[in-house]
Amino acid sequence: MPLAMDVKDIDRLDKIIQRGRPIQSGEHLYRAGDVFSSIYAVRSGSIKTYLVDDEGVEQITGFYLPGEVLGFDGIDNTDHGCNVVALETSTVCEIPFNRLEELTLQIPTLQRHFSQLMSRQIKSDHQMLLTLSKKNAEGRVATLLSSLSHRYSRRKLSPNALRLPMSRMDIGNFLGLTIETVSRTFSRLQKENIIDVDGREVVINNHDRLNEICHKNR
Amino acid sequence: MPLAMDVKDIDRLDKIIQRGRPIQSGEHLYRAGDVFSSIYAVRSGSIKTYLVDDEGVEQITGFYLPGEVLGFDGIDNTDHGCNVVALETSTVCEIPFNRLEELTLQIPTLQRHFSQLMSRQIKSDHQMLLTLSKKNAEGRVATLLSSLSHRYSRRKLSPNALRLPMSRMDIGNFLGLTIETVSRTFSRLQKENIIDVDGREVVINNHDRLNEICHKNR
DNA sequence: CGTGGGATTGAAATCTATCAAGGGCTGTGG
DNA sequence: CCACAGCCCTTGATAGATTTCAATCCCACG
């Protein structure tokens, strides 16, 4: 967890954490409607979450990289609200929620940690609302690249060279664009020398220009 | 709170709740950057929350009606992440967060209640992501009307006749559309006899057709 | 009675979706 | 080793939806 905790408390949390077998690319960790019992932290690989509405329309709600926690949307119910699938071979920590609740009674600070994680999820979702509501195709793609870059660099990886774990179709679904528009946007950013693209390999040549474009609106 | 709680527990919660003076239309309850100390439940009137990015672009992140709780996005920090302003003269319950945290230690179920409220916020935000990402102007406007109708009827008000508390500009900002498009969409829905519009007064003539349009995608 | 903000409507411009074709890579099987 | 299918991605041309620009209306209010 990215937040400060007492060593003894971490030990106690560690005990209830279960480490599962690896999930293969395309395999579901769980599906909407499955019984809710745990939240999950990504250990390795990458994960996408998506929801499906009455009409079968799918919306990817987030991409999760190692260290990031998912599953908070299931707490209000007995079952999960969204589908979770691996984008590549991945491993996760399972954190059983009922045992977590018991533990929060013993470790008051732990409760706040989890409130904070949920609060961050809400903030991040609100940023995404702004992206979808106010930005054009370039702004949306640039915002995604910038976000991934930040998150990779927080994991001590290069902020300049990244391998996208998701397909163009996933990107388009997430950003509310067609794959053609995503592809064209990548090409345009490359032509302007802001990035180099080769399939899923992306090199960011000019972070400043990229950040400018993040704020480019409709 | 919309969830089951023990009467004695409700009393204890009631004691820490502060009832503030009314907030006038356009007045801020708090602003982004203000010290976070409380979450709020709307008692009467209506409230909008919005965030402002680096470039000054505003995004309305939600409209809140009586009985609905806001402010969860401030928990991860010492200060609030968004701005909160009244759409009309409104009253709110202030729920001081540190006292709430103490109380959750005494009332274990209370903690779950709050986790559930946050979880619902996340789910609702994810639905909104789908709306912005996958629906056209008609679908977005219809979805907002349907949502307001549901929420009014839960408050024992008519699901057919409603007075919009927000301006066309607010609707457009929230839905990622210009006011012109919002206006034209209202007019089109009226021409098809699905709704009657007179300024902020809306009558829903045909819920079935409205719900169909909710799922109309780009 | 004039003023100003919000709302509506029309016409043109712009962006993205759609339709269509083709490229590149991988894995499989002859 | 090569041919081929399948998938993902790219690119081009056209169509369609929404934005932009502009004019007007409406109504509350001073």
Residues A165 and A194 both lie in one domain: yes
Query: In this structure, is residue A198 part of a structural domain?
Result: yes
Which pLDDT score, from 0 to 100, does residue A2 have? Answer: 47
Residue B128 has its nearest CB partner, among A115, A127, A129, at A129
Residue A118 has its nearest CB partner, among B57, B108, B118, at B118
Q: Alpha-carbon Rg of chain B, whole angstroms?
A: 18
Residues B108 and B40 both lie in one domain: yes
H/E stretch holding B28: strand B28-30
Position B124, amino acid: S
Query: In this structure, is residue B109 part of a structural domain?
Result: yes
Average pLDDT over residues A14-19: 80
Most trustworthy range by pLDDT among B30-34, B35-39, B59-63: B59-63
Number of domains in chain A: 2
Distance in Å, residue A177 CA to nucleotide D12 C1': 18
The edge-to-edge listing of strands for the beta sheet with A69-70 is A18-19, A91-96, A38-44, A69-70
pLDDT(A20) > 90: no
CATH code: domain of residue B204: 1.10.10.10
**Tokens standing for residue A112:** 């706040």
pLDDT(B6) > 70: no
- Residue-wise pLDDT for A78-98, tens only, equals 889 899 999 999 999 999 988
Which pLDDT score, from 0 to 100, does residue A103 have? Answer: 86
- Residue-wise pLDDT for B77-132, tens only, equals 888 989 999 999 999 999 998 888 888 888 878 888 888 999 999 999 999 999 99
Position B57, amino acid: V
Q: Which value, to the nearest 10 degrees, does the dihedral of the CA atoms of residues B169, B174, B178, B184 take?
A: -80
Nucleotides of D under 7 A from a protein CB: 8-13, 17-22
Residues A14 and A108 both lie in one domain: yes
Q: Compute the mean pLDDT over every residue in chain B, rounded to the nearest whole number.
A: 91
Residues A112 and A11 both lie in one domain: yes
Query: In this structure, is residue A156 part of a structural domain?
Result: yes
**Domain termination site, one of A92, A121, A150:** A121
Distance in Å, residue A184 CA to nucleotide D13 C1': 14
- Considering any atom of strand C, list protein residues whose CB lies within 7 Å: A 136-138, 176-178, 180-181, 218; B 167-169, 179-180, 182-184, 186-187, 197, 199-200, 218
Chain A residues with CB under 8 Å of B176 CB are 132-134
Chain A residues with CB under 8 Å of B81 CB are 123, 126
Residues A114 and A164 both lie in one domain: no
CATH code: domain of residue B69: 2.60.120.10
**Domain termination site, one of A121, A154, A185:** A121
**Tokens standing for residue A123:** 């903030």
Instruction: Please tell me whether any atom of strand D lies within 7 Å of the Cβ of A191.
Output: no
Most trustworthy range by pLDDT among A24-28, A94-98, A131-135, B114-118: A131-135
Largest CA distance in chain A: 57
More confident of the two residues A182 and B218: A182
Question: How far is residue A46's CA from residue A174's CA, in Å, rounded to a whole number?
Answer: 15
Query: In this structure, is residue B203 part of a structural domain?
Result: yes
Chain B residues with CB under 8 Å of A128 CB are 129
Residues B158 and B201 both lie in one domain: yes
Question: How far is residue B83's CA from residue B87's CA, in Å, rounded to a whole number?
Answer: 13
Residues A96 and A168 both lie in one domain: no
* Band (A44; pLDDT cuts 50, 70, 90): very high
Question: How far is residue B6's CA from residue A77's CA, in Å, rounded to a whole number?
Answer: 19
Question: How far is residue A76's CA from residue A14's CA, in Å, rounded to a whole number?
Answer: 24
Q: List the domain range (segments joined by +) for residue B99.
A: 7-121
Query: In this structure, is residue A35 part of a structural domain?
Result: yes
- Residue-wise pLDDT for B186-200, tens only, equals 999 999 999 999 999
Query: In this structure, is residue B129 part of a structural domain?
Result: no
Q: Compute the mean pLDDT over every residue in chain A, rounded to the nearest whole number.
A: 91
pLDDT(B147) > 90: yes
Name the DSSP class of B106: H
CB-CB contact of B132 with A176 (8 Å):
yes
Residues A65 and A148 both lie in one domain: no
Average pLDDT over residues B174-184: 98
Residues B100 and B198 both lie in one domain: no
Residues B81 and B158 both lie in one domain: no
**Domain termination site, one of A61, A96, A121:** A121
Query: In this structure, is residue B128 part of a structural domain?
Result: no
Output the pTM of the full model: 0.94
Q: Which of B213, B180, B186 is nearest to B200 (CA)?
A: B186
Which pLDDT score, from 0 to 100, does residue A104 have? Answer: 84
Residues A96 and A197 both lie in one domain: no
pLDDT(A8) > 80: no
Q: Measured between CA atoms, how close is B191 to chain A, in angstroms?
A: 26
pLDDT(A51) > 90: yes
Query: In this structure, is residue A128 part of a structural domain?
Result: no
Q: Residue B32 burial by CB count (10 A; 0-12/13-18/19+): exposed, middle or buried?
A: middle
Which pLDDT score, from 0 to 100, does residue B29 have? Answer: 95
Q: Residue B165 burial by CB count (10 A; 0-12/13-18/19+): exposed, middle or buried?
A: buried
DSSP bridge pairs for B135: B217
Which pLDDT score, from 0 to 100, does residue A4 have? Answer: 56
Q: Which of B41, B39, B59 is nearest to B49 (CA)?
A: B59
Residues A115 and A165 both lie in one domain: no
